Amino acid sequence: MRMFIILLFVLFISALNAQDKTLTGVVIEKNETGEFTPLIGASVYWLGTTSGTISDEHGVFKLQPNNKSNKLVVAYIGYLPDTLEIDDQTKLNVILKSDPKKIAEVVIEGSVQSTKVSYLTPQKFLIMTEKELFKAACCNLSESFETNPSIDVSFSDAITGTKQIEMLGLAGSYTQITTENLPSIRGLTSNVGLTYIPGTWIENIQVAKGVGSVANGYESITGQINVELRKPQNEEESKMFLNLFGNKDYRMEGNFNYRQKITDNISSMTLLHTSGQTKKIDMNGDSFLDMPTYNTTNIFQRFYFSNLTGLEGQLGIQYVNDEKKAGTNNSNSFLVNLNSKQFRLYGKMGYIFPAKQYQSIGLQWSLTEYQQNSNLGSRNYLGNEKTGYINLIYQSIIDNTYHKFRTGLSLLYDEFDETFDKVNFKRTENVPGAFFEYTFDNEKEVSVVAGLRADNHNLYGLFVTPRIHIRYKLSEDFVIRLISGKGTRSQNIFSENISYFMSNRNYKITNANSDYGYGFENEVAWNYGINLTRYFIFNDRDGNFAIDFYRTNFEHQIVANLDNANEIEFISLKNGSYSNSFQMEINFQPIDMFDTRIAYRYLDVKQKINDSWIKKPFVAEHRLFINLAFTSERESSEDAQMLYDITLQWFSPKRLPETKNSPTEYQVKEYSPGFALANSQITRSFYEGFDLYLGIENIFNFMQEHPIVSHNNPTNQYFDSSIIWGPIYGRLYYMGLRWRI
C-alpha cells in the first residue's frame, strides 16, 4: 500500500517539474443580461505564425510563447476578433463582442451519445444523459442503472420489492450518493432513498468508481453517484413536462414538472410525483404478495437566484411520504408495513469574482429529517434521523491555471434514534472537518488531483483522509488513470440490513469493542484503481474501449454473517475483507444511429470469518452485458422517430448462505444457477416533445423458484424471504407517455 502511494506521488512530482512557462487565458462574452459565459472553440494564435490553439469547454486556452511574435489574435465566428500585445503576462482574460455583420447562427448536426465518457478529468466519469435514462421506464433512481454495466441492481428480499445497487461487489451504502454534490442518500435512508428521486426529475447522472473528492466528504469508498436534477435556470428545459406510466400489475405513476421564470433574477422549478399499486398480485401461489401495495407522494420545490454580477444561490424543499404493505395474502401470518417520511431543506450560495474567473467562494448546506415506522411480522423497527450538513468552499489558482486549488471547512451532524425488537439504540455524531485539494493540469500529458482532509469525530476521534487521482495521456487517444485513497463511514446495521429481517432470524453482535455505534468502531477502507481508456474513431463515429481494475481493502468492516439459518451475526472484522473488480467495456456505433455497449466483469469478494476466507454471498463472479440501441433518422423536428433498445445480461452462479444444518425441506443449494435476463423498450416520438413508450422486463420470464423458505409456515424458525439471487417475478409489460410543452 505504501509503495503504491509513493509511486503515485512520484508521478505527481514529475508532472510538476515537467511544466513550461505558458500563457493561460479564458475567452468569454458578456451577454444581454450581463453574465459572462465562456466561448468554446475560439481560435487563439500568434500573429503571423502557425502557432495557435483553441479554447476548451470552459473557454480556457494555453499557449506557449513564440519568439517570432508577441501579438495574440483571438477570433470566434460571429464575434469581432481582438489582437492583444503580450509582454510578460501569463494570465489573460479576453472578452469578445458579437458582430451583427457575421453569421448569426451555426447549425451543427450529429448524434448525442446517451452515456458520455470523460476525457480530460483525472477521475473517469460516466455521464448518463436523459437519452440514456429514457431507454427504460426509469421510474426512480434505483431503476436508472439497468443499462449500466458497472452497477448491479437486484431485489433485496422477496417481500418488500426494494431494489438495491452494488458497485465493485459491495453494497450501495459504500457508494457516496449525492444530489448536486450534496449528501442525499445515506444513513437510515441508504436502503430506500433511491426511490425518493423519480427518474423524470433527473437531468443526468455522473458515475465514477473509487474514492471521490475530499471536498465532498470522507464517506465514499467504492464510488460516487452524483445526480443532477432539472434546473429552473436552464432556458433549454421545457416549461412543463408530463410523464405517465403503468404496468400490467396496475402499478401507476404520474410526474409533472413545471418551470417558471419569476423575475429576471429568480426562477423556480416545481417537481411533483405520485405513484401507487392497489392490486394484490401472487403469481407463484406461495400466499405472499409478489410486490407490496403502496402509495407514494413526493413533492420538490426549488428556486434559483442570480444578480447577474457573480452572485447566485439556490433553495430547495422536498417532502416524501411512502406507505407500503406486504406479506401474506390470505392470513395474518406474516404482515409487513413500511411507513416512511422525509423532509429535506437545502441551499447553496456562491460568488464568482468577475475580474478573476477562477476565484470563487461557495456555501452549501442541508437539513434532513427522516422517520421510518416498520412492522416486520412480529417485530417492529422505529428509526428517526436528523441530519445537518454545511460545507464552505473557496477555490482559486496558483500563478496560472495549471495550478488550481480548493479548500474549505465542513460540519456533519447526525442524530440517530432506533428501536429494534424493543431494544433502543441512540447515538449522536458531530464531525467538523477541513480539507485542501490541489489540481495540476497541463492538458498535454498529466493531470493530478491530490486531496487531504482531517475530521474530528466526537465518538471515533481524529482521522485523516488522503486521496489522489492521476491522469496520464499516453497518446491523443489513449489515457491511463490511477487512483488511491481512504474512506471512512459509520454503518447502520439494522436499516442497511433490514431485508435480512424479513425472516425469523435472531440477531447477534460479535466482537463489539466500544460503547457506541452498536458496539462497533467506524468502518475504514482503502481503494486503489487503474483504468485504461482507448478513444477511437470507427467510420467517422466516436467509440471507446476501457479496462479497469479496482481493489477495496478494509482495515475494519462490519459484516452480516448469514451462514446460520436461525441467526444474523454482525461481526467486526479487522483486515478481514476485500473486493477485487475487473471490467472490460466497449462502446461504439457499427452503423449510423446504432449504439452498442458490450462489457464483461469479474468480481472476487471475500470475508474472513472464523479464520477462513469465504466468498461474500449473492455475488456473481462473472457478468456479461450487452446493450443495443437503434434510433431511426428524423429529417425535421415534426417527423416521427423510433427508438429501439434491448439489454441482455448473464450472471454466473452466486454463493448462497449455508443452510446445511437446517432440516432437508428448508435447505437451499450451495450455489444458485447462472441465469440470463433481457429487457427491451420501444419509443415512438410523434413530434418534438411527445413520446409514447412500450417496454418488457424479464423477456425470458425467468424467476427464482420458491424464493421464500418455509412460505407455508411463516411462524417456523426457518422462515426466510431474504435468500434472493434472481428475479422474483416474471415477464412484465409497461407503457407510458412523455409530453413536453
* Mean pLDDT value across residues 87-111: 59
Q: CA–CA separation, 615 vs 607, rounded Å?
A: 6
- Domain segments of the chain: what residues? 2-96, 115-226, 227-308+354-740
Q: CA–CA separation, 134 vs 273, rounded Å?
A: 17
528-538 pLDDT, tens digit each: 999 999 998 88
Burial class (CB in 10 A: 0-12, 13-18, 19+), 459: middle
5, pLDDT greater than 70: no
131 pLDDT band (50/70/90 cuts)?
confident
* Mean pLDDT value across residues 26-41: 69
61, pLDDT greater than 90: no
**Bridge-based pairing state of the strands 335-352 and 311-327:** antiparallel
Higher pLDDT, 729 or 214: 214
551, pLDDT greater than 60: yes
Q: Which CATH class is domain 115-226?
A: mainly beta
107 pLDDT band (50/70/90 cuts)?
very low
27 pLDDT band (50/70/90 cuts)?
confident
* Mean pLDDT value across residues 546-572: 96
Instruction: Give me the pLDDT at residue 96, please.
Output: 83
109, pLDDT greater than 80: no
636, pLDDT greater than 80: no
Q: What DSSP designation does 498 have?
A: G
What kind and span of H or E run contains 493?
helix 493-496
Beta strands of 10-129 (E only): which ranges?
23-30, 36-38, 43-46, 52-54, 60-63, 71-75, 82-85, 91-96, 115-117, 126-128
Q: What is the CATH number of domain 227-308+354-740?
A: 2.40.170.20
Domain 2-96 has CATH 2.70.98.70: no
667-679 pLDDT, tens digit each: 999 999 999 999 9
Instruction: Give me the pLDDT at residue 119, please.
Output: 77
85 pLDDT band (50/70/90 cuts)?
confident
416-430 pLDDT, tens digit each: 999 999 999 999 999
Which region among 135-144, 163-172, 209-218, 577-586 has the lowest average model confidence (pLDDT)?
135-144
Instruction: Give me the pLDDT at residue 430, please.
Output: 97
Q: CA–CA separation, 287 vs 285, rounded Å?
A: 6
First-to-final CA distance of the chain: 55
Higher pLDDT, 709 or 356: 709
